[in-house]
Amino acid sequence: MINATDLKALAYATANTSLDDLLKAGVIPTGDNSSWRRFNDNLDIFIIKLPAPRLEAFADLMNRKAGLEAALQAAE
């Protein structure tokens, strides 16, 4: 379950995510400028349109950037 603190951490994580972060994580392929624009202009549609493997990569990236990775592992 997401709480207010986690939601704020995710908001900071997305606001501080660069194109380079997304490329290195495998979320956006090199040269895919439309996905980068969508990430910046319409994050919810960006997430909805991601294919499963790239969505998983994005989730992993956000967990790392938001500092939620340790909490998720502790919950398992």
Per-residue pLDDT, 28? 97
49, amino acid identity: K
Integer-rounded Cα Rg, in Å, for the chain is: 12
- pLDDT, tens only, 1-38: 788 998 999 999 999 999 999 999 999 999 999 999 99
Per-residue pLDDT, 59? 95
Q: Residue 74: how many CA atoms within 13 Å on its side-chain side?
A: 5
Could you tell me the pLDDT band of residue 67, with boundaries at 50, 70 and 90?
A: confident
Phi, psi of 11 (to 5 degrees): -65, -45
Token pair of 33 as six digits: 């400028």
- For 8-75, give the secondary structure using H, E and C: HHHHHHHHCCCHHHHHHHCCCCCCCHHHHHHHHHCHHHHHHHCCHHHHHHHHHHHHHHHCCHHHHHHH
Per-residue pLDDT, 1? 78
- pLDDT, tens only, 43-61: 999 999 999 999 999 999 9
Q: Can you give the pTM of this predicted structure?
A: 0.85
